Structure formats: C-alpha cells, structure tokens
Structure 1
Amino acid sequence: MNEFQLTLQRYWGYTRFRPLQEEIIRSVFEGNDTLGLLPTGGGKSICFQVPAMMKEGVCLVVTPLIALMKDQVENLLVRNIPAVMVSSGMENREIETVLTNCVNDPKIRFLYLSPERLGTEYFRAMVTAMKVSFIVVDEAHCISQWGYDFRPSYLKIAEIREYLKGVPVLALTATATPDVVEDIQNQLKFPARNVFSKSFERKNLTYAVRRTDNKNDKLLQICKSIPGTGIVYVRNRRKTAEYAAFLRHHGLTADYYHAGLDHETRTRKQKEWKENRTRIIVSTNAFGMGIDKPDVRFVVHIEPPDSLEAYYQEAGRGGRDEKQAWAVLLADEADRDQMLRQIEISFPPPDDIRRVYHALGNYLQIPVGSGKDSQHPFSITAFAQHYKFEILVAYNALKLLEKEGLIALTDEISNPSRVMFTASKIDLYNFQVKNTEYDTFIKFLARSYSGIFSSYTRIDEMVISKKMKVSEGQIVRWLQELKKYDILDYIPRNKSPYIYFTEQ
C-alpha cells in the first residue's frame, strides 16, 4: 500500500479509493492547482481530507452548504480529527476564538467556512498568520457566471490567494459544463489547466417518470416492489411527517427528516436509517448532504425539485455501491401548473425587490451606508407580516439579493449550546474556594469536556442534568450565573435563521 492508501485506511477504514480519487489527491498533495469533476456520490470529501491529513497546517474548506459543513465537521471529530467551522449563527467572540486557535494550534487540520466570511478584514488578517496547507473550493461551479448557481461571494476566493502565495487550490464540483470548467480555472487563477473528470453517467441507476392520479398508491407500490432502503423527497416539512405516517400505516418502517429538527434527533434518525433499522426516510432536500450510504435502492420524488441539477444530485444518492437502483419522479397535472407558478413567483418585479431591500434595512435598523459584515437573527415570517409582504415574494426577493452578493440568508439551523471558560485556571481556583456552591458543577464541566478552556464546546443541558441528577433549569441558572461572574461564556441553543450583510 502507498502512503495515500495507508492514510485512507488509518482514518477511514477503507483499503482502496474510488475511481479518480487517488489521482486528484496526488495532484493537490504535490502542490498543483486542481479541478475535480466527480458525480454525486463520487466521494469528493475524501479527495481533500486524505491529503490534508498528510500535510502540515490547516486546510481551508469553502462551502455554501452549512448543513454539509456541520455534518463533515462532526464526522471528522468522531474520527478524532480536529476540525472547526465558522458559519452563520456564531457570535463574534466565538469566531475570534476559532480563528485564533487555527493560528496557534497546529493540531487543527480543517477550517470550514462560508464564502461570505472570506471578505471580512478580520478573517484576512488572521488567515495570513495561519499555516495553510491548501484551499478547497466545494461546489466550485458557484464561482462561474456561466454556472446555474453563481454566487458573487465566491469571487473573494481568488482575492484570498493574494494573501496566501504558493498555497494550492483544489476545486470540486458535481455539476459543470465545458464553459464552466474553463471559467472555474480562470476565476481561481490556475497557472495551468489541470482537470480530472469522471463520467457523470450512472449506468446502474435507472431514471423513470411515472404519471399518476394517485401518488400515494404509486409510492406504496414502489416501496413494496423494490427491496432495500430508500429515500422519499418532498417539498415541505409538514409532508415529511405525513408521508412517513402513511408508509408506517401500511406496514413499512419509515421515518421523517428535515432541517428544523434538533441536532440529536437528526443524528438519531440518520443513524437508524444508515443501520437499516429504518428502511425508508421521508425528507426535504436537507437530507443526504454528507451522508454516504452505498446501498440505497430507490429514490422517489413526490414533486419535481427546483432544478435539473438538484434532481441529479438528489437522485444520485441511490446506487452508490454501483448495483442496480431506481430514481423515480412521480408527476401529475397539478405539478405542471405548480412549476409555472413557481417560475412566476421566483422572479419578483424589480420594484418589489427594492421594496423588500429597503424594508429589510428598516426592520433590522441598519443605517444607509453601514451594516457590512454584520449578522442578525431573522424570521422571514415575522418580517413579511410586519410589512404585509406575500411571504414567497419576500423570500424570493431575498434570494435574488443573495445571488447579487448583497446578503447571505441561511435556513433554520439548530445551533446547540456552547460554553468556554474565560477565567484563568488560577482565578477559577480562587473562585471555587470562595464560592463552594459552584465547585461540583465547575469540576464536572472541566472533567467532561476536553478543550473547554481554549475553545467553545458544545454542551447539552439535559444530558448534564441527568448525569448530575439536578433539574435542567438549575444547570441553565448555574451557567447564567457563572457567565455574570466572568467565569465562563455561555451561548444558549437557538434555531433561528440568520441574515448576513456582505455589503453596505
């Protein structure tokens, strides 16, 4: 076995690579700017995680998908690989701690961040002090104006290269036309063309469209006729629970999943499905990112997704073991009308977009000419009700403002509580001596959570309360009181979406 295969086996337990993975790994390991085109399920994350474990320094991973970011960081931590992230929903002091640790702690191997963070002066100052092994650009088609999902914030990646001379870039995507392939390399300032491309044809995956007047019956027929695990995609959270209940009512083991569930629930549902205790998962498009289950035998879409690219990615989660699998889209007459209506409301008139943008500044009390790099908890429902906007018009206006690079809008994400001791160990000891009522609790935190003195650490108040045999309310009170005494910093859990201003 060569050094790449040994690293793969040591950390991930695999003995061989998938097609093209090793060639891409070797290219970036040797310091070459590299573009990898791999189909969904082709194992893109291994292409940068393996060489990052073989090189000194921290690997910067730029991705617009916060759910994927969280999944990959959690999966790396489970393998005892130090990884951190900077994303929406984090407070400034948390971000400062993460970036400072990336400068000072050589054990940190991965820093995941969203593209809009690259433009802040603070990040640029900190990144020049880091030892960066290489930069990964995930969803690299977002940097191209020829791409279907162009994001202006991606253009800041090329600017960061000016601060990190000689640091190679690995760009990865599952969606790129020849024009986009060329443009990605131009935008990222590749000195020479260097593309590795695997065929996007999935010969083992059968695509089918089934027209039906009764989607429930057709879904049941598919689930009963195709053995093995499956994914059923729907467009909204309410339907996930409804369809899962329908399948269970007919004797199938099914569960539901969406981004609004808390982290522990999502993790449990994923685990039960991956271990085949749940046969069918009914989900919004939040499910699947970062989840590599090879033996999915069918993927059913109850309604058409927003784009062909989205359909290709979601359907492509079937048959990753290269055995026969089916991707089935259920369609009826109402779908066509709904899609035409969707096109109409997805592009509000310019006057509506201007009204939404001005209202947003007033709603968040941001003066004209300010607000750059600020983030705010944001409820689109409350915003739309306050200004009497139709909620879909407001949402799509904000998404178009995001595409223009003015804001970044996150979906609802469950952020667990975080704690970090801020007092020095000497001050902490003196506090414990004078305030004995907190001593047991402080010792529990210090012993239970490694790294809690140097970085924000996720905690679960309910788990702590069970272990200490006190109420969850008491745990929260202790945390709040210790924060008042400047002993620790406590950031309670929240599930709020955030809006981030990338421009004034």
Structure 2
Amino acid sequence: MSEVTLAQVHQALQRYWGYTALRSPQGDVITALLERRDVVVVLPTGAGKSLCFQLPALLQEGITLVISPLLALMENQVADLRQRGLKAAAYHSELSTYQRRQVLRQVEQQQLRLLYLSPESLFSSAVWQCLCAPALRLNGLIVDEAHCLVQWGDRFRPSYRRLGTVRPEIARLKPEHPRIGLAAFTATADPSSQRVLIEVLGLDTPAQIRHSPYRPNLHLRVHSVWSRGYRRHCLRHFVQQKGRTSGLIYARTRRDTETLAAWLQHHGYTTAAYHGGLPAPERRRIETAWLQGTLPFVICTSAFGMGVNKPDVRWICHYQPPLQLSEYLQEVGRAGRDGQPAVALTLVSDRWGLDRDDQQRWQFFERQSQDIQRQAMAQATKLPRQGNLNALRSTVANLELTLALLHQQGALQWQDPFHFQLRQIAPNVVPPNREDPESRRMQEFLRYKGCRWQFLLRAFGFTQEAQTCRCGHCDRCNS
C-alpha cells in the first residue's frame, strides 16, 4: 500500500470519522488509490463512496482534485470535511471574487488536501494556470457522480468530455512529479457506461470495483394514475400515511416543485420547494431544515439529495417518473440508508387514462435534446482541422457542445484541454433521431410485470445476482 500503512488508514478512519472498521469493498478502493492505480467504482447510494477517496487524500501529500456536478454536493461534502478538521475547499461561480482568490491562494500554498470543482471551473483560466504551476503537487483526480459524464457530457455539460486530457497535460508540464491516479465513482453505471468512462477519462487498465445496488430494506412501488387530479390525490394520501417521517418528493421541473409545495402547504403540510434556481442561502436553509427534521419532506428536482448523508429517510415519492433509469436508482437509493424499511413510490400515467403528462414530457425532452444536438452539429463545418477552443469561442455558436458531440462520435481528438484536431468530418453532420436508450429502459421498468429489483440488477450489469434475486417486497412480488 505505497508509503501509507494499513495502521495509518485505520487510525485516520477512527480519528476523523469515528469508525473502527471499513466496510466491504472500501478497503479495496482505498488500497488502489493509495497505490495510484486507476479505478472505476460502482457502489450503491449510502455505501460510503466519498470516504473511499477522502481518506487517501488526507494521508498523502499534495492536492486531490474532486470533479463534482452540483454546487450543493460540493458544499455539503466540504462542510462535512471541515467539521472533521480536514483541509478542503470548493471553487465555484457562486463564490465572490475575493473568496475565489482565497481558495486559489490556499491551493498555491498547498494548504489543502481536497479541492472540489465542476468540470467547467477546472478548465477556467485562473484555476488551470494555478494547477499547472511547477511547484504544485497534484495527487489524484476523482470524478464523483461519474455517470453525469455519460448522461450530460455530449448534451449539456460538454466540459466533461475534456477530462481525459488533464493527466497527460500535467505529466507533460511536470515530468518530474509522480503519476496522477484517476478514479471514477458512481452508484449507477451499466457496463456500457463503464466503457465510456474508461475511454473518455483515459483510464489505464483500471481496477473495476462493483457492488450490487440491491437493498433488501427498500420496497419499490409503481402506481398508475389516470388523471391529474388522481395523481395529486395519490400523492396526498401517500404523504398522509407517512406522517412526520422523513422523505422526499421528486418532480421534474422547477415550476412543478413550487406548485406542489404551495398546494401541500395549503393543506396544512410543512414543506418547501427546492431547485437549482433558488439563491444559495435559501437552498442551504432548506437542506439544513430537512436534515434537522424541522422540514419532514421537501419537493425537489434532481438537484437535491446527491451526496447528502441522511440515514433515516423513510420514503421517496416520484410525483413524475425520472427520464432515465440511472436517475431513478440514484434517487430511490436516498431512502433507507440506515438499513431500516423504506418505500419508494413512483406515480406514472396510465397508458389508457386521461393523463398523458408523462408521455408528453418524455417526448418534449427527447425533442429538446435532439434540437440541441442538431443546432450544435450544424456548426461542425465551420471548424478548422486544428483549433484552439478559446480562440474560436467568439466566432462559432454552440462551440463546446459541437466539439463534445464530435468527440463522442470519434471525429475529434483533444490534444490538450484547449486544443483539438479533427479526425474526419462529413458536411452537415446531424445526429440521428433515435430514442434515448436510457429513457426507453425507464419506460420498460415502469411497465415491467416481474420483480422490480430483478429488472434493475439486469439493467446495470448484475446478471448473476438478478438470477438469484426474489426480493419478495416490491409491488410485483407482493401481488
């Protein structure tokens, strides 16, 4: 285990986290990171993924970079680390200019062990120049919630597609420094997604550490609704049954969260709407109230709950089903992390009923995604064979998304984080109008007649576990 001994690992574990032993397979992950091996880690929500990279970062010299998709996730993890007396910071756009300078000064003086960033912040001029300083020692690059690279990298967050350039460019600039280890952490990556992560990040024969997402205490239910009024009736009845226990209601749009919160407040419930459009202080207030139990439940978009550690969540309700199966598994996994019984209910339009909201929503987001890609690819013929991303920003619309799509199709190679070379390009390249396979799998899951957990295990590559699984507690098994 490199220079760090097993005894030092357990001493730090007990001193900072209060645990006397690691859970399986945390030890394997920590060992791999301390040996600077590349790793793909697929562990279910609540399995302690964050500890697996936080503890090695604490025990090594230099800074570990953590790429995180959501500001709230960064802030929650940094706040938790600081409470434990550990040296961590986040750099993001909602910090003041002074605060951002302070964080970069801490980086320059090597006062941190963990620096949390979005992929966009990582490639900002100020951060990148700071990280490339000859004296600065980088210890590792962790891509947390790595499924976001697969889901968003060629659609909404194109900077994810450039992460594979970080290690070779740092090695070129600092040849005398030790090799940077790379790791991708997620709770939801099927075999196809794992292959994408390995390819895009440039992982070198990575260790692949996977654990079944099956949770015997988590009861999965899907309920058909035939009208908008009946959907609300089912929601209210479900919430009434749960009393003051802790839960989350997921809706797909900001407007829906606010409308539902107002409606439930009118009926006497103490709750709040949560989404990415709220000011940061308001988001922190709602999170704190929910964590402390003064808000029993929150109506939220997918921006809420990722990385939040609240073991006693007894229920999850999807007022509308997620667009993708990986989103579903992420969100239901936030219930019952203490091992006690929990239930996850999804309300979905009955295909023969009056309510067509879910089908219309799936179709809308599919068309929107295709339109974004089509507009971006229309710019492809304007690109030079070799180019500088920063120099072309002002002249090519949708530039980063166009480059990400070309990279995804194998038509572009990143030479470093800011320079690209086209391999091949056809005029007027337009992505095919194909249905998102993730969306299709989500709909198949909702209509599936067999065991819910069996379906999920097969979908995420745990075929052997699926063959032996008879959960006995989902709505299909109970019926």
TM-score > 0.5 by shorter chain: yes
Check 1:47–1:348 CA distance in 2 against 1; reply closer, same or farther (3 A cut): same
Q: Does residue 223 of structure 2 align to residue 210 of structure 1?
A: yes
Deviation at 1:13, TM superposition (A): 3.3
Q: Does residue 340 of structure 2 align to residue 340 of structure 1?
A: no
Q: How far apart in 2 are the matches of 1:109 and 1:241? A: 39
Q: Does the 8 A contact of 1:304 with 1:329 survive in 2? A: yes
Structure 2 counterpart SS, 1:348: helix
Q: How far apart in 2 are the matches of 1:14 and 1:101? A: 29
After TM superposition, the score normalised by the length of structure 1 is 0.65
Check 1:272–1:141 CA distance in 2 against 1; reply closer, same or farther (3 A cut): closer
Deviation at 1:272, TM superposition (A): 1.8
Query: In structure 2, what residue type is equivalent to 1:279?
Result: P
Which runs of structure 2 are paired with 1:276-291 in the superposition (5 Å)?
Answer: 276-291=293-308
Name the structure 2 match of 1:171: 184
Q: How far apart in 2 are the matches of 1:162 and 1:121? A: 19
Note the alpha carbon deviations across 1:418-440, whole angstroms, 9 max, x for none.
Answer: xxxxxxxxxxxxxxxxxxxxxxx
Deviation at 1:310, TM superposition (A): 1.4
Q: Does the 8 A contact of 1:143 with 1:154 survive in 2? A: no
Structure 1 counterpart SS, 2:314: strand
Number of aligned residue pairs: 380
The partner residue of 1:126 within 121, 124, 130 is 130
Name the structure 2 match of 1:156: 165
Query: In structure 2, what residue type is equivalent to 1:211?
Result: S
Q: Does residue 145 of structure 2 align to residue 139 of structure 1?
A: yes
Q: How far apart in 2 are the matches of 1:145 and 1:241? A: 26
RMSD of aligned residue pairs (Cα, Å): 3.8
Moved more, 185-194 or 211-220: 185-194
Check 1:356–1:113 CA distance in 2 against 1; reply closer, same or farther (3 A cut): same
Q: Does residue 26 of structure 2 align to residue 26 of structure 1?
A: no
After TM superposition, the score normalised by the length of structure 2 is 0.68
Q: Does residue 238 of structure 2 align to residue 222 of structure 1?
A: yes
Q: How far apart in 1 are the matches of 2:151 and 2:251? A: 29
Which runs of structure 2 are paired with 1:178-257 in the superposition (5 Å)?
Answer: 178-212=191-225, 213=227, 214-226=230-242, 228-257=245-274
Query: In structure 1, what residue type is equivalent to 2:361?
Result: Q
Q: How far apart in 2 are the matches of 1:339 and 1:189? A: 33
Name the structure 2 match of 1:418: none
Q: Does residue 12 of structure 2 align to residue 12 of structure 1?
A: no
Deviation at 1:217, TM superposition (A): 1.2
Structure 2 counterpart SS, 1:265: helix
Note the alpha carbon deviations across 1:319-371, whole angstroms, 9 max, x for none.
Answer: 1112221111112232223322332233117765578999xxxxxxxxx9885
Deviation at 1:121, TM superposition (A): 6.7
Note the alpha carbon deviations across 1:156-205, whole angstroms, 9 max, x for none.
Answer: 23434534542222221222222443453455444444121111222222
Q: How far apart in 2 are the matches of 1:223 and 1:399? A: 43
Which residues of structure 2 form unaligned runs of 5+? Answer: 1-5, 350-354, 382-386, 408-416, 421-479
Name the structure 1 match of 2:466: none
Name the structure 2 match of 1:70: 75
Q: Does the 8 A contact of 1:273 with 1:280 survive in 2? A: yes
Check 1:285–1:350 CA distance in 2 against 1; reply closer, same or farther (3 A cut): closer
Q: How far apart in 2 are the matches of 1:146 and 1:256? A: 24
Q: How far apart in 1 are the matches of 2:309 and 2:50? A: 11
What fraction of aligned residue pairs are identical, expressed as a percent? 33
Q: How far apart in 1 are the matches of 2:146 and 2:207? A: 14
Q: Does the 8 A contact of 2:121 with 2:127 survive in 1? A: yes
Check 1:70–1:404 CA distance in 2 against 1; reply closer, same or farther (3 A cut): farther
Structure 1 counterpart SS, 2:344: strand
Deviation at 1:233, TM superposition (A): 1.0
Check 1:351–1:46 CA distance in 2 against 1; reply closer, same or farther (3 A cut): closer
Check 1:18–1:293 CA distance in 2 against 1; reply closer, same or farther (3 A cut): farther
Q: How far apart in 1 are the matches of 2:262 and 2:124? A: 46
Q: How far apart in 1 are the matches of 2:392 and 2:153? A: 26
Query: In structure 2, what residue type is equivalent to 1:309?
Result: S
Which runs of structure 2 are paired with 1:288-327 in the superposition (5 Å)?
Answer: 288-327=305-344
Name the structure 1 match of 2:286: 269
Q: How far apart in 2 are the matches of 1:374 and 1:79? A: 42
Check 1:95–1:241 CA distance in 2 against 1; reply closer, same or farther (3 A cut): closer
Structure 1 counterpart SS, 2:272: strand
Deviation at 1:287, TM superposition (A): 0.9
Q: How far apart in 2 are the matches of 1:403 and 1:274? A: 38
Q: Which structure: larger Rg?
A: 1
